Chain A
Amino acid sequence: MPEQYKLILKHADSPGYTPDIECYERHGGYHSLKKALATPPRTLPDGKVQSPQEVIRDEVLKSGLRGRGGAGFSAGLKWSFVDRRSGKPIYLICNADESEPGTFKDRQILHKDPHQLIEGMILSCWANDVNLAYIYIRGEMIQGAKLLNEALKEARAKGYLGKNIVGTGYDLEIHVHRGAGAYICGEETGLIESLEGKRAYPRIKPPYFPAVLGFYMSPTIVNNVETLCHVKHIVAMGSAEYAKLGTPNNTGTRIVSLSGDILKPGYFEIEVGKVTLGQLIFEPNFGGGLRPGRSLKAIIPGGSSSKVLKAGELFKLNRKGADGQMTKVDVPLLELPYDFDSLQGAGTMSGSGAVIVLDDTRSMVDTLANLSAFYAHESCGQCTPCREGSLWLSKGLHRLEQGDGRKADADYLKHIAKNIQGRTICAFGEAASWPVLSFVEKFRDEFEARGAADEAARAKGSGSAKVPHS
């Protein structure tokens, strides 16, 4: 039976563990920082000498760490894109705007172990020659912001932050900035605009790649809370040891937020790819299964914007055989390993690590109407397809939900969503359209039946009057 593997949350939930710096230091806190700052330059086999900062950057790249915010992009590669010759300051921003529906992992760290994040940030800043960093925290996490500010104060008092950090001559300041309640601020360029004091309109790429033209048009690194915490452990363990956790190309651990129709919703830290979706849902030490008498209908595997998976689906995944050859094998839904590549292979994504379980009592129409209302509300409205399309989807779905549907609405919704994905400034377009595309594709009969029933009722004269929406 698979177990949790607590790397990030090793101490956070232990009885008596408190978010203050003394407790953190008692548990070995800031040890990795001191170790890293004392790293000597490294001479490579080819005779090249790496600076201590380059050593850390190289370690993060070799560790295989992938971003825990949603896209799963290699953190080391992201760092390698930073323009280090521009002459402009390099900024690092911690994206703590956790707002993807179903996701509640970063707040565990922020609330219970803020110093772990701060240490990860100092290390990442040092490795990237950053002297000014920000934590952009979701506006609703008032307590988290308070705790972070308290923790930063403690770190400053102890000489881990500010001028001449632990006597090395390195200066770094970290500021906490609270958002004002918009999901789009989690999109990294929207976040940067917001941090600059502007409306959080995501930037067009090209030309505004943050690694080159980010915060105040300077090179900028934006990393998720959990990602930055992993940097601390990579430094502590060494990249080789770290990469043994998880599975190849899906290294380390990640915190899964499990919610929906299960007995034990909660967050679980697992080695990436070592636990399957079925185990997450049904094992007693994870989700504990469904309510009595219920059966599984669908899983939203990586936050509400990921494509839904239908119970009983079978996926063709690439697997390395014993002979080292890649072969296609059939993998049933519940045997999908929870990692980046397997879920991508299944046509969806592990996104923010939020697994939402739907049982047979759920109406897919009503569920999708609920999700679409969220995206219609959160579209920033900058670009046409998403601004108009996301509300259009929501209105159509609510009409169907309220009993004024049409059989043709399944195609109607699909066409609207198709005109959003891939045509917008940021990935919100995908976030708004993927749930619709996947729900309608995989549960088309349910959508058509609802519409057909409404049509029949209207034909008999008992149909509802058109529900006004605006």
Chain B
Amino acid sequence: MSNATATPTATAPVETIRIKVDSRDVDVPKMLPNWQGRLEPTTMLQAVQIAGGEVPHYCYHPKLPVAGNCRMCLIEFGTPMMGPDRKPVLNPDGTPKIARSVLPYEPSTPRGAIACATPISAGMELYPSSPATRQMREAVLESLLINHPLDCTICDQAGECKLQEYSVEHGQSASRFVEAKVHKPKAVNLGPRIVLDDERCILCTRCIRFSKDIAGDDALGIVNRGSYNTIAAWKEGAFDNNYTLNTVDLCPVGALTSRDFRFKMRVWFLKETKSVCTSCATGCNITIGSREGVVHRYEPRENDAVNGPWMCDTGRLNYRWIGSEARLREVWVGNKASTWDEANREVRIRLSKAAPGSVAIIASARQTTEELYLLKKLATRLGAITDSIAREGDPDTLLVSADRNPNANGARLTGIAFTEMGIQIPKIASGIASGAIKTLIVFGEDVTQHGIGVDLLGRLETLIVSDILPSQTTQAAHVLLPGCAHAEKRGTFVNAKGRLQKFMKAVEAPGDARPEWEFLHDWVHAVSGRNGFSSIEGLFNQMAREIPAFEGIEWGRVGDLGVTAKI
């Protein structure tokens, strides 16, 4: 790339301009990325943020095209006065004279500019907390509330509603409105996952812009006119792309609600846990909302290196299995409910008797990197053949990966699977059939669905299975060990692009279920005699020292947004 055409890099000096924000001098970059990441002249809103302030807004969103319709971000401003000679007019003290922006037809009244769309210029003064700015905000809030139903007590958005928050911060306590309110449709079926309350809607058009410009589905629009405007899908229920639920996050008020979550839980009762979505290899960052051991929702957690602020509906709604009634809760040895001590003893005895080459391990690319690492260690010790199960689907152009395993690269980097995942499965099947393989260890997969049928499982001397939900494989197990969902433990995944991301524990596992890394550690210790760690941190750090792709990475430095592994 030649220097002439190169886009400025982080190392290139950033051209700044000096402005005043509430009478403080601030140097701000002349250009900043717009919603698409393209450099554009810095806006007043960005400049105030850099100065450490906040400009309240509804329609503006850093990842959506600018609309400028809510008018909440109107701020008073001034520009250096220019003389007829095009030179700045100076005050007696030599400072430039500032012309406050006023209405051209009423020079006694300040004129605001929408901070979201107005570029700054050198010497400009912004007054985000002046009385005139505050009055403009008050007026916009008053307008937004006159026809609003004020039904916070039954609204799902309460507690995370910008209308509530700004009303407290910038609004008035009383309304002058004495007319009848406009009534609009309630509980509108916008799409299979989205319900709209038109009366709560403030018509910021974030949902329309997201659907059209991000999801590529021009399904939403506005019908009617003026104060009677309402959001509508082009046909009732037609808002049905795989990203519709992002509009619920984007909606600054309680107009768009998730059919899945609405009326389920007050948001202030939810414990928020940083985690990663497990539905495909993209590894969208999420926040798990849980209360008293029950997961109630996933929300995307912004990470520009992975998912931006979005996630797909499929991933978002893929959480109910965690709290399923069918979850495995008990340890089984033979066909008796047992204890972990008993099971570990049984595993130790059976594995110590296994001849090298007679053991196979089928792990899951849905397991954590740490678990896969331990399984690989076990496999090395036992001379076992290993693999995991590939999962493919149709990708889309936004987030969904064709690889539906969250940790396929983890399985590859730890050496559990080859680049072509699942290539060893037929070999394992034929090994069982020929009697060469007598012991099979399966983690998190129902191998009967992947070429190793119940009849083959019946020929094994030892079948050790760990899983979360029952399957034909768990039914055939000699030792069955209940494991944990990602939300019930800590660990890391490596996504399709090689980003190593960690996730935290949100809820307790049911019954006797334990995180797999804990009991795998006991097994590895038992067969190898090594025990260099007793926590996930220690385990991770040991793994990172041994796997070249993770060189130099430590658990404590992975951070909330992950790091790039050298794949």
Q: A residues near B, CB below 8 A? A: 182, 199, 201, 204, 206-207, 376-385, 387-392, 395-396, 399, 412, 415, 418-419, 421-425, 430, 468-470
Interface residue ranges of B130-149 to A (CB < 8 Å): 136, 139-140, 142-144, 146-147
Q: Does B354 contact A (CB under 8 A)?
A: no
A residues in contact with B229, CB < 8 Å: 381, 387
A residues in contact with B119, CB < 8 Å: 206
Q: Does B221 contact A (CB under 8 A)?
A: yes
Taking the nearest CB of chain B, how far is it from the CB of A405, in angstroms?
A: 11
Q: How far is the CA of A390 from the CA of B226 in the complex (A)?
A: 8
Q: How far is the CA of A468 from the CA of B178 in the complex (A)?
A: 11
Known: A204-B114, A423-B136. A469 touches B179 (CB 8 A): yes
Q: Does B222 contact A (CB under 8 A)?
A: yes
B residues in contact with A377, CB < 8 Å: 225-226
Known: A199-B222, A379-B226, A395-B179. A207 touches B117 (CB 8 A): yes
Could you say which of B67-75, B295-303, B450-458, B528-536 contacts chain A?
Answer: B67-75
Q: Is A376's CB under 8 angstroms from B182's CB? A: no
A residues in contact with B74, CB < 8 Å: 423
Q: Is B143's CB under 8 angstroms from A380's CB? A: no
Q: Is B71's CB under 8 angstroms from A381's CB? A: no
Q: Is the interface of B mostly helix, strand, loop or mixed?
A: loop
The A/B interface has a contact count, at CB < 8 Å, of: 108
Interface residue ranges of B174-229 to A (CB < 8 Å): 176-183, 202-203, 221-222, 224-229
Q: Is A385's CB under 8 angstroms from B140's CB? A: yes
Q: Does B103 contact A (CB under 8 A)?
A: yes
Centre residue among A207, A387, A469 by max chain B CB count within 10 A: A387
Closest residue to A204 on the B side, CB-wise? B68
Known: A376-B227, A378-B226, A384-B144. A423 touches B112 (CB 8 A): yes
Q: Is A385's CB under 8 angstroms from B225's CB? A: no
Q: Is A387's CB under 8 angstroms from B222's CB? A: no
**Residue in A204, A383, A392 whose beta carbon sits within 8 Å of that of B177 in the complex:** A392
Q: Is A423's CB under 8 angstroms from B225's CB? A: no
Besides the contacts A201-B69, A415-B176, what 10 more A-B pairs have beta carbons closer than 8 Å? A204-B67, A206-B118, A376-B227, A379-B227, A381-B228, A382-B203, A384-B144, A396-B178, A423-B74, A423-B140
Q: Is A388's CB under 8 angstroms from B225's CB? A: no
Q: Is A383's CB under 8 angstroms from B139's CB? A: no
Known: A388-B144, A388-B227, A423-B112. A395 touches B180 (CB 8 A): yes
Q: B residues near A, CB below 8 A? A: 66-72, 74, 103, 105-106, 109, 111-112, 114, 117-119, 136, 139-140, 142-144, 146-147, 176-183, 202-203, 221-222, 224-229
Taking the nearest CB of chain A, how far is it from the CB of B539, in angstroms?
A: 53
Q: Is A384's CB under 8 angstroms from B71's CB? A: yes
Q: Is A383's CB under 8 angstroms from B180's CB? A: no
Known: A199-B221, A419-B139, A423-B74. A387 touches B227 (CB 8 A): yes
Known: A384-B140, A415-B176. A390 touches B227 (CB 8 A): yes
Sort A-B residue pairs by CB-CB distance and give the 7 closest, nearest first. Answer: A388-B143, A419-B139, A381-B229, A391-B227, A379-B226, A395-B179, A204-B68
B residues in contact with A395, CB < 8 Å: 179-180
Q: How far is the CA of A419 from the CA of B72 in the complex (A)?
A: 12
Q: Is A388's CB under 8 angstroms from B183's CB? A: no
Closest residue to A469 on the B side, CB-wise? B180
Q: Is A423's CB under 8 angstroms from B117's CB? A: no
Known: A383-B70, A387-B203, A388-B146. A399 touches B226 (CB 8 A): no
Q: Is B143's CB under 8 angstroms from A385's CB? A: yes
Q: Is A384's CB under 8 angstroms from B143's CB? A: yes
24 contacts between A and B (CB under 8 A): A204-B114, A206-B117, A383-B68, A383-B70, A384-B203, A385-B71, A385-B140, A387-B229, A388-B227, A389-B143, A390-B227, A391-B226, A392-B227, A395-B180, A396-B178, A399-B178, A412-B176, A419-B139, A422-B112, A423-B112, A425-B69, A468-B180, A469-B179, A469-B180
A residues in contact with B114, CB < 8 Å: 204
A residues in contact with B139, CB < 8 Å: 385, 419, 423
Q: Is A384's CB under 8 angstroms from B225's CB? A: no
Closest residue to B68 on the A side, CB-wise? A204
Q: How far is the CA of A155 from the CA of B467 in the complex (A)?
A: 81
Taking the nearest CB of chain B, how far is it from the CB of A209, in angstroms?
A: 12
Q: Is B180's CB under 8 angstroms from A425's CB? A: no
Q: Is B69's CB under 8 angstroms from A382's CB? A: yes
Q: How far is the CA of A121 from the CA of B419 in the complex (A)?
A: 67
Closest residue to B43 on the A side, CB-wise? A206
Q: How far is the CA of A381 from the CA of B70 in the complex (A)?
A: 10
Q: Is A384's CB under 8 angstroms from B69's CB? A: yes
Centre residue among B106, B114, B139, B180 by max chain A CB count within 10 A: B139
A residues in contact with B144, CB < 8 Å: 384, 388
Taking the nearest CB of chain A, how far is it from the CB of B554, in angstroms?
A: 46
Q: How far is the CA of A388 from the CA of B226 in the complex (A)?
A: 8
**Residue in B176, B179, B182 whose beta carbon sits within 8 Å of that of A399 in the complex:** B179
B residues in contact with A415, CB < 8 Å: 176
B residues in contact with A201, CB < 8 Å: 69
Closest residue to B103 on the A side, CB-wise? A422
Q: Is A378's CB under 8 angstroms from B225's CB? A: yes
Q: How far is the CA of A380 from the CA of B224 in the complex (A)?
A: 9
Known: A199-B221, A423-B112, A469-B179. A387 touches B226 (CB 8 A): yes
**Residue in A207, A381, A412, A470 whose beta carbon sits within 8 Å of that of B225 in the complex:** A381
A residues in contact with B112, CB < 8 Å: 422-423
**Residue in A384, A423, A425 whose beta carbon sits within 8 Å of that of B202 in the complex:** A384
B residues in contact with A392, CB < 8 Å: 143, 146, 177, 179, 227
B residues in contact with A207, CB < 8 Å: 117
B residues in contact with A387, CB < 8 Å: 143, 203, 226-227, 229
Taking the nearest CB of chain A, how far is it from the CB of B194, in angstroms?
A: 21
B residues in contact with A470, CB < 8 Å: 180-183
Q: How far is the CA of A201 from the CA of B223 in the complex (A)?
A: 12
**Residue in A381, A423, A469 whose beta carbon sits within 8 Å of that of B203 in the complex:** A381
Centre residue among B112, B114, B119, B226 by max chain A CB count within 10 A: B226
A residues in contact with B181, CB < 8 Å: 470
A residues in contact with B203, CB < 8 Å: 381-382, 384, 387
Taking the nearest CB of chain A, how far is it from the CB of B114, in angstroms?
A: 7
Known: A204-B68, A470-B182. A381 touches B176 (CB 8 A): no
A residues in contact with B225, CB < 8 Å: 182, 377-381
Closest residue to B139 on the A side, CB-wise? A419
Closest residue to B74 on the A side, CB-wise? A423
Taking the nearest CB of chain B, how far is it from the CB of A101, in angstroms?
A: 16
Q: Is B68's CB under 8 angstroms from A425's CB? A: yes
Q: Is A204's CB under 8 angstroms from B66's CB? A: yes
Q: How far is the CA of A131 from the CA of B182 in the complex (A)?
A: 47
A residues in contact with B72, CB < 8 Å: 384
Taking the nearest CB of chain B, how far is it from the CB of A207, in angstroms?
A: 7
Centre residue among A385, A388, A415 by max chain B CB count within 10 A: A388
Q: How far is the CA of A385 from the CA of B73 in the complex (A)?
A: 13
Taking the nearest CB of chain A, how far is it from the CB of B43, in angstroms?
A: 10
Taking the nearest CB of chain B, how far is it from the CB of A237, in angstroms?
A: 33
B residues in contact with A391, CB < 8 Å: 182, 226-227
Q: How far is the CA of A425 from the CA of B227 in the complex (A)?
A: 16
Q: Is B69's CB under 8 angstroms from A376's CB? A: no
